[in-house]
């Protein structure tokens, strides 16, 4: 079962090598920055930004649909971080899949930073980046803002195999899981807060 659902008949490792194979100093720095931005340790920073925007919108008009929509985003981010974090930790320990350096020959991959060997599935970075982007998506009006959110998630997801930390299946599942978590929480909150649909 794992061979097809996770290994993809060998394509998971092949895709990892395709992303991990070519390195440049400037690209290493970019990928490290993206990984930094997608780390769940950045949660207080993202939370502070959403709190400030929500407060500003309520100051402009507490009864406006925009203010209530930002309150919905803030609540979704807060609950989503807790739910998604518990899922990531639980799945990592339940599956305990090895990371690339633990199963691939040392001369076949490039690791940037300290190598990690355990708890590869799912990627916490991909999960957190998707969580933040999915929460902000309804509030990101315009093509440029939504494109920035997509590029943020794709960049964080690419950074993990590029740096030698995760297989593509780890980041794909992490992203899809977090997207579903945000959709479920937002749907439940919208049912309780009808005015927050704006």
Do residues 99 and 165 touch, judged by C-beta distance below 8 A? yes
pLDDT cut 90: percent of the chain above it: 82
Residue span of the structural domain in which 40 resides: 31-197
Classify residue 19: in a domain, yes or no. Answer: no
Q: Is the pLDDT of residue 85 over 80?
A: yes
Cα Rg for the chain, rounded, in angstroms? 18
Classify residue 169: in a domain, yes or no. Answer: yes
Number of domains in the chain: 1
- Per-residue pLDDT reduced to its tens digit, 149-195: 999 999 999 999 999 999 999 999 999 999 999 999 999 998 876 55
Classify residue 52: in a domain, yes or no. Answer: yes
Classify residue 1: in a domain, yes or no. Answer: no
Classify residue 66: in a domain, yes or no. Answer: yes
- C-alpha 102/C-alpha 117 separation (Å) is 5
Classify residue 129: in a domain, yes or no. Answer: yes
Classify residue 69: in a domain, yes or no. Answer: yes
- C-alpha 163/C-alpha 32 separation (Å) is 8
Classify residue 20: in a domain, yes or no. Answer: no
- Per-residue pLDDT reduced to its tens digit, 101-158: 999 999 999 999 888 899 999 999 999 999 999 999 999 989 999 999 999 999 999 9
With bands split at pLDDT 50, 70 and 90, how would you rate the model's confidence at 1? low
Q: What is the DSSP letter of 108?
A: G
């Amino acid at each position: 079962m794992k061979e097809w659902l996770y290994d993809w008949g060998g394509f998971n490792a092949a895709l990892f090598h395709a992303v991990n194979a070519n390195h440049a100093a400037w690209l290493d720095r970019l990928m490290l920055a993206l990984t930094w931005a997608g780390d769940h340790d950045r949660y207080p920073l993202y939370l502070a930004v959403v709190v400030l925007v929500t407060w500003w919108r309520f100051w402009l008009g507490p009864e406006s649909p925009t203010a209530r929509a930002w309150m919905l985003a803030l609540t979704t981010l807060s609950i989503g971080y807790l739910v998604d974090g518990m899922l990531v930790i639980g799945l990592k320990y339940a599956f305990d899949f090895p990371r690339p350096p633990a199963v691939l020959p040392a001369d076949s991959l490039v690791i940037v930073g300290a190598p990690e060997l355990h708890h590869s599935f799912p990627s916490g970075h991909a999960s957190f980046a998707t969580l933040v982007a999915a929460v902000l998506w309804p509030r990101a009006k315009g093509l440029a803002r939504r494109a920035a959110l997509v590029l943020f998630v794709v960049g964080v997801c690419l950074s993990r195999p590029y740096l030698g930390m995760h297989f593509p299946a780890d980041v794909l599942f992490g992203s899809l899981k977090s997207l579903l978590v945000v959709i479920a929480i937002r749907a439940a909150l919208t049912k309780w807060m009808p005015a927050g649909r704006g």
